[in-house]
């Protein structure tokens, strides 16, 4: 039991009353405690001062507001081959750029290169997002003030589209609809759309003009045409400025060697012929497989119009500059000259200096015999002309990047944000 006669009339030894004066130990600790408090106050003030230099601390994000004299362009698919080159050109021309990419086909390494080349605040931002996620896309548009959209993001392999048609309709057609809805909701009025000559299918007459009937023969071309139709229908009921660029087979890379093409290894069999040539020259694959030697052409192989990526992005920038409200421009982007696959292979052998082994196989599903453009409309209306038309030279430029980047931009883990 507890004792009943315990007195509480005196304070316990060593237990100061709350309102009593400081004892000797408190007096000795006082300067030390005050010193710590003073240091904490100084550090806190310093941190606040540093944070106040941040635009976000002040509630200001340059990407979220329109600024006179600055054009802010959203580049979808800007981590990809063509999109990254376009972003570089826009940044070089003093545009403000936001790249949106889910990195399913793009390369984080390309983003890193652009960030290193343009480190100034307010020039470039990268947002990881999937255009198939409408909520994420709407958030991107709500939190940023865009003047224009360059829409590159798309899966883009003819052969793969015949194997996975639903994926192509979703990725190209449905995602374009998501972009248009977000543009409409936020009042973004300018669209530069990356389309393709595949929308024409296999025309009876060459060269292809913008008036050539669009009769695509593979899901890739069909999905792109559907997206074009949606854009055109929507533009009729709005004051949008729309430019649709239908381009042909893209080759080359940045002449200064800053950017290149680095497709994922698992996509090589569906990729561009230039990538396959380089893989064969590097010994990554045993040789080059040319699919189809019985087409009704001079040497039995397909004929294509090969456009250098530098010329292609120049066309996009000129289209952006010429875009006007309530106007739609549709342009073929090509050299106007067709080259056979056999010609291409020979040019690649000379560019690489490697006697590449070539196997000739059956046709690839969905391919067409001959496609080349008539670029006279874009020549006259946008003052654009292809300048890099030497096939071997374009391949030589691309080869230099491939040799210096045998692993592409590096593994995602090595380049992680």
Q: Which residues are known to be catalytic?
A: 220
Q: Which residue has the tokens 């592409």?
A: 408
Query: Which residue, 125, 139, 118, is CA-closest to 62?
Result: 125
Q: Which residue has the tokens 């093409």?
A: 261
Query: Which residue, 104, 99, 53, is CA-closest to 72?
Result: 99
Give CA separation, 42 vs 35, 36, 57, in Å. Answer: 11, 10, 19
d(C-alpha 261, C-alpha 402), whole Å: 8
The token pair that represents 29 in the structure block: 């600790």
Q: Identify any residues that bridge with 361 across adjacent strands, giving them in sequence order.
A: 291
Say if CB 366 and CB 161 are below 8 A apart: yes
């Amino acid at each position: 039991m507890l004792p009943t006669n315990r007195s509480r009339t005196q304070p316990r030894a060593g237990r100061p009353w709350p309102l009593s004066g400081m004892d000797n130990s408190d007096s000795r600790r006082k300067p030390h405690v005050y010193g710590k408090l003073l240091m904490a106050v100084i550090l806190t003030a310093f941190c606040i001062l540093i944070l106040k230099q941040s635009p976000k601390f002040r509630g200001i994000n340059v990407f979220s507001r329109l600024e006179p004299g600055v054009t802010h362009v959203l580049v979808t698919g800007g981590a990809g081959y063509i999109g990254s080159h376009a972003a570089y050109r826009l940044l070089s021309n003093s545009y403000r750029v936001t790249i949106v990419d889910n990195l399913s086909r793009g390369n984080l390494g390309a983003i890193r290169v652009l960030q290193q080349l343009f480190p100034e605040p307010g020039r470039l931002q990268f947002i990881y997002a999937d255009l198939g996620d409408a909520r994420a896309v709407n958030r991107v548009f709500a939190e940023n003030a865009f003047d224009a959209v360059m829409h590159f993001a798309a899966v883009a392999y003819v052969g793969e589209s015949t194997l996975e048609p639903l994926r192509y309709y979703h990725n190209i057609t449905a995602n374009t609809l998501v972009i248009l809805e977000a543009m409409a909701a936020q009042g973004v009025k300018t669209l530069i759309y990356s389309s393709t000559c595949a929308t024409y299918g296999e025309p009876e007459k060459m060269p292809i003009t913008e008036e050539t009937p669009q009769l695509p023969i593979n899901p890739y071309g069909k999905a792109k045409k559907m997206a074009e139709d949606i854009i055109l229908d929507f533009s009729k009921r709005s004051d949008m400025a729309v430019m649709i660029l239908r381009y042909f087979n893209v080759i080359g890379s940045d002449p200064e060697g800053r950017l290149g093409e680095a497709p994922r290894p698992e996509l090589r069999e569906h990729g561009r012929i230039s990538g396959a040539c380089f893989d064969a020259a590097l010994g990554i694959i045993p040789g080059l497989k040319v699919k189809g030697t019985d087409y009704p052409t001079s040497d039995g192989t397909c004929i294509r119009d090969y456009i250098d990526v530098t010329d292609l992005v120049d066309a996009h920038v000129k289209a952006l500059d010429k875009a006007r409200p309530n106007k739609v421009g549709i342009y073929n982007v090509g050299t106007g000259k067709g080259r056979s696959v056999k010609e291409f292979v020979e040019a690649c052998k000379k560019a690489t200096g490697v006697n590449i082994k070539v196997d000739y196989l059956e046709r690839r599903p969905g391919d067409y015999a001959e496609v080349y453009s008539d670029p006279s409309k874009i020549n006259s209306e946008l003052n654009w002309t292809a300048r890099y038309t030497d096939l071997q030279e374009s391949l030589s430029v691309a080869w230099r990047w491939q040799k210096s980047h045998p692993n592409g931009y590096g593994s995602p883990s090595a380049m992680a944000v």
